[in-house]
Amino acid sequence: MAPVPIVVLISGEGTNLQAIIDAAAGGSLPVRIRAVISNRPGARGLVRARRAGIETGAVDHTRFTRRSDFDEALRQAIDRYHPELVVLAGFMRVLGQPFVDHYRDRLINIHPSLLPAFPGLHTHRRALEAGVAEHGASVHFVTNQVDGGPVIMRVRVPVRPGDDTKALGARVLRREHALYVKVIGWFAEGRLRLIDGVPQLDGRPLAQPLDYDEVTGR
């Protein structure tokens, strides 16, 4: 199977990016990362990509007064690489409808909560304030609703007594990496698709999000 070309979008440290790089280099993820693009030219994740020999680019959102102009510049930067999948890995910009429509059915995101709970920002703080017993992360197809696209799979972590946002966030992040690599792998293998707004795995619609630990037998 030929590796599937992908482009990864980041805004910061790029730890999920590193997990993707490592899995692809190790042969367990059949993708070729054609480029890593950030809206922040100084993002640490760009250094990770360069060290791995991956092309990088930056489309600085602060240079644009209109979001639509930024989205168009970003789209042009991505399309130079002709990806079959665009992966948002800690990309902290809301994308407009024309952009999302352009990559419909091939744009995915990872979000640090058990969606539909806690869409948006500050998820760990909000989870602690709500007093939930479980928190986690979700991978979903991107739609025009922020963090509201169809969820593919989630991973759960316990909220422990004495947790603060740093401790809880670190526990979630450790689980995110394997979760994202698993879902990207399904797409690259042709097993996962979004059809008529419903995720399908191996040709079967997902009536509800999968649970990572149940799928992997952990």
The pLDDT of residue 78: 98
Beta strands 56-58 and 210-211 are unpaired
pLDDT score of 125 more than 80: yes
- Cα 20 to Cα 31, 38, 91, 126, 176: the distances in Å are 9, 16, 15, 28, 11
Confidence of residue 1 (pLDDT cuts 50, 70, 90): confident
Task: Assign residue 138 the CATH number of its domain.
Answer: 3.40.50.170
Phi-psi region of 91 (alpha: psi -120 to 50; beta: other; left: phi over 0): beta
CB atoms inside a 10 Å sphere around CB 117: 16
Give the residues across from 56 on adjacent strands: 36
- Cα 87 to Cα 106, 130, 139, 163, 208: the distances in Å are 8, 30, 10, 30, 22
Asked if residue 7 lies in contact with residue 81, where contact means CB atoms within 8 angstroms, the answer is yes
What token pair was written down for 192? 């996962």
Q: Compute, in degrees rounded to 10, the torsion defined by CA atoms 47, 49, 55, 56.
A: -50
pTM: 0.97
**Residue 167: domain span:** 4-216
Query: Which residues have a catalytic role annotated?
Result: 111
> pLDDT above 90 covers what percent of the chain?
97
The pLDDT of residue 147: 93
Mean pLDDT of the chain: 97
Please give the tally of structural domains in the chain.
1
The pLDDT of residue 214: 97
Quote the CA–CA distance of 178 and 186 in Å, as a whole number: 12
